[in-house]
Amino acid sequence: MSFIVELIVSAFLILGGLFVLVGSIGLLRLQDFYVRLHAPTKATTLGLGCFLIGSMVFMYHTRGSLSINELLITLFLVITAPVTAHILAKVAMHHRVKVMERTRNQHLVETARMQLPPEHESNKHDNKNSDTESLDNK
C-alpha cells in the first residue's frame, strides 16, 4: 500500500476517533438532556462516517473496487441519526423533561409543549368511539 493511501486512511481514522472522543466527553459534561442529545448524534454521524470513509478508501486500494456496503451504511447513518435525535427531543419535550435554568426563551418551551399535532384533536373522538365499540363487541 502506498504511503499516501496509508496517510489518508490514518487521517480518517484519527478524525473519526476525535469526533467520538469529543461526543463522549460532551455526553458526560453537558447538563441538560436536550444539549446532551447533540453529542452522541455528532459522534455517530461524523465519527462513524469518518471510520467508514477511511475503510472505503482502504478497501478500494486493496481490492480495486468500491465497497457499496460501507457507502450504504454511511448514507444510512447520515440520514437516520439526526432524525432519531429529533424524535427523541420531541418525546422528551412532551414528557416534560426539564430544561436548564439558563436556557433562553423558556416561554417557547411551554408553548411548544402545549401544541398537539393537528390530527390528534380530530382522532380523539374517533378513538373514544372505537374503544367503546370494541368493548361492546366483546
- Report pLDDT for 66: 82
pTM: 0.68
Name the grid cell of 58: 482502504
pLDDT digits over 59-87, tens only?
Answer: 999 988 888 888 898 889 888 888 988 89
CA angle, residues 50, 55, 58, in degrees to nearest 5: 130
Backbone angles phi, psi at 31, to 5 degrees: -90, -35
In a domain, 7, yes or no: yes
Q: Look over the chain and give the mean of its residue pLDDT values, rounded to a whole number.
A: 80
In a domain, 64, yes or no: yes
Q: For residues 84, 90, 95 and 96, what is the CA-based torsion angle, rounded to 10 degrees?
A: 130
In a domain, 133, yes or no: no
Q: Which domain does 47 fall in, by range?
A: 3-99
Decide: 23 and 39 in contact? Cβ < 8 Å: yes
In a domain, 34, yes or no: yes
